[in-house]
Amino acid sequence: APRSFRAARGDALAPGGPGADSARLGARRLHPLRPGPPGDRHPGGGPARFRDLLDADGALDIEGYFTLARGEGARPALEMTKWLDSNYHYLVPEIDASTPIDYVDTAIADQVREARAAGVEVRPVVVGPVSYLLMAKPSDEAPEGFHPLDRLSDVLHAYGHLLMDLQKAGATWVQLDEPALVSDSWNVDRGRILDAVRDAYTWLGAIVERPQILVAGTYGSLGDALPVLGQAPIEAVGLDLVAGCLPETGDLAALAGKAVVAGVVSGRNIWRTDLDAALTTLEQLRERLTEGTPITVATSTSLQHVPHDVERETAIDPQIRSWLAFADQKVGEVITLAKGLAEGREAIAAELAQDTDLRNQRAAHPGVHRDEVRTAVAAVTEGDRTRAPYAERKAAQEARLGLPELPTTTIGSFPQTAEIRKARAAWRKGEIDDAAYDAAMRAEIASVVALQERLGLDVLVHGEAERNDMVQYFAELLDGFVTTEHGWVQSYGSRCTRPSILWGDVVRPEPMTVTWSAYAQSLTDKPLKGMLTGPVTIMAWSFVRDDVPRAQVADQLGLALREEVADLEAAGIGVIQVDEPAIRETLPLRRADRPAYLEWSVGSFRLATGGAAPATQVHTHLCYSEFDVVIDAVDHLDADVTSIEASRSRMDILPAVAEHGFERQLGPGVWDIHSPRVPSQAECTELLQRAVGALGAEKVWVNPDCGLKTRAYAETEASLTSLVGAARAVRESL
């Protein structure tokens, strides 16, 4: 989460603030200001519902910080969403016109002092002020028309104190990340954003007692923000030359007199860098820059998106492992490329030759190209992606399922208990045989089905006890994937995941979920959902091959899942959920790139579900998805029921859904499962009433935000009791 979210009153800047008079602000000096006293400080929070947690200095202790993240009692947690188009999440700051903002957390400066005391030179990295405000949201108390950018003056005041404290701690450089500048999808005029960039870095650059400033544009191209940064009194600009493009000579002229940090090694995938191509990019950059401009070779983003060291993955086929580069290997690639740029290609001739040889070996591997898969993808027609008209499907499903108004369900997974994990670990180690493991999973499934019947849910799930992860489970059963043992990356807070590696053409050797779903359905007369992870999400939550177009990979996965849907139908499963929580997060940051993405991503889902019979009810699920941004694409998925995360945002997606005229059924979540807090029935009822008021009862399903894998059974049962009670109460009021 951006660590500059503060909540203590700061002095106002000059009247008018940034944007009123850039020249005057550029001449202003912050050096007479002094940061607050050092100490063990933690990020504070601005929402009014948390103000009583602040100490006298406006800071939060660690318990208060976690309260913002998790919620407590009647205080919902901060909203959590994906960091741009990555798999990392952040807590969304809530800001209004009266939110007190100042520098109260000295943790970053304290870490610089600690590093220097250990003899290590470090460059602290902080989210930049413009991205911080663009990625925040107005609080519920904000007046109509307010935007967090309205508080730029106060945020710059806090950043000024931070820069001075870092300089005092001994930092010679500070990196301010401005990833929001590479996107044109913010709900604010681009001209205003560029004015904010100009004002922010004119102001911060004019501070005397500060480290040198590097502004990094990660996750894409800076575009029209590049010349604005070029005019600012800062010392360096970082370019992402993996996700972004190499700027033209005329655009780079604006950077004369500044250092350029060239991100040519991907910080987001795990494939070896094409050293020849990366070095060519660096050479072209040098040719286009003003002569003498310093170039630093770097990764395109931070390395938080990749695991540490591929050498630990001894279980992966050595040939496949030789194609990979985790964080430690990427650092080595940066050093190699820097040497090649400084000393010439001859200095790294051996490394270039080895890389070329490994690339040739990869291309020749039999699993990389399978003729039968390529032929099947090439034979796909539009008819394969098209189901019967919705009205026909709706009538057939109502006759088959007989569900009440406002039907209740869960998203899929139930808590993964210590006993489940212990049984899985023992099975993987060979300490128990297949029969014992199967018996343990069946016992858990039976318990989950019985619990749902006792609670009164209408459409049940089997709980996914057998699944360690909603993507890894399928990756282990599909040809073309490998999984790691130590490849952990952070998702949010204490939650980490091990993304699978999709390296070859995808084939489904045999059914993957049918046995478990059929067993669960045999235990109940109520409908039970078959649970699949969709093609886009399998891709987004894996490290995907970089040697073929993603559209082709998505269709390969779509065909494999289509076979699974057919087998579930043959086993008597009448409701099948194909989760696509990642369809928003892989949406390109630039609007111009979106139509092509949406065509293939939606098409792959429809390929997976297009063979389902009219009486089979197809569900999908989205989370962290800013539903209003992709509502048209979600509509084109043509799922019969779509469940979405909505409780943390207090159903703020409903106006967009109502305005769009969403034809099919929708389940906006009424329980925030990312917090251990148990919602009351009254709270669930209020949210459900909002949904019914906006959409009509005939279109609304009642469900949690997401799956329940990370929750405990006590809070799960209590929360589902509130959810079912709310559905019954609203039904009675209709």
Binding site for Zn(2+): residue ranges?
621, 623, 645, 706
Residue type for 406, please?
L
CB atoms within 10 A of CB 593: 12
Active-site residue identified among 89, 161, 305, 674: 674
Q: What is the DSSP letter of 532?
A: E
Dmax (CA) of the chain: 79
Helices 550-570/371-378 angle, 10° precision:
90
Task: Give the whole-angstrom CA distance, residue 236 versus residue 214.
Answer: 4
Residue type for 442, please?
R
Task: Give the whole-angstrom CA distance, residue 471 versus residue 88.
Answer: 16
Per the CB < 8 A criterion, the answer to whether 416 and 444 are in contact is no
Classify 413 as helix, strand or coil. strand
Pairing mode, if any, of strands 495-497 and 489-492? Answer: antiparallel
Could you give phi then psi for residue 40, rounded to 5 degrees?
A: -85, 90
> Among 530, 538, 471, 457, which Cα is nearest to 727's?
457
Token digits of residue 540: 């987004």
> Among 720, 249, 269, 163, which Cα is nearest to 461's?
720
Which residues are part of a known binding site? 87, 411-413, 464, 495-496, 541, 579, 621, 623, 645, 706
Which residues are part of a known binding site for 5-methyltetrahydropteroyltri-L-glutamate? 87, 495-496, 541
Length of the chain: 734
Token digits of residue 615: 């009486």
Task: Give the whole-angstrom CA distance, residue 714 versus residue 238.
Answer: 48
Per the CB < 8 A criterion, the answer to whether 138 and 95 are in contact is yes
Which residues are part of a known binding site for L-methionine? 411-413, 464, 579
Extended strands (E) in 142-230: 173-177, 212-217
Task: Give the whole-angstrom CA distance, residue 406 versus residue 390.
Answer: 19
674 is a catalytic site residue: yes
- Residues facing 212 on adjacent strands: 173
342: Cα within 13 Å, side-chain hemisphere: 10
Could you list the active site residues? 674
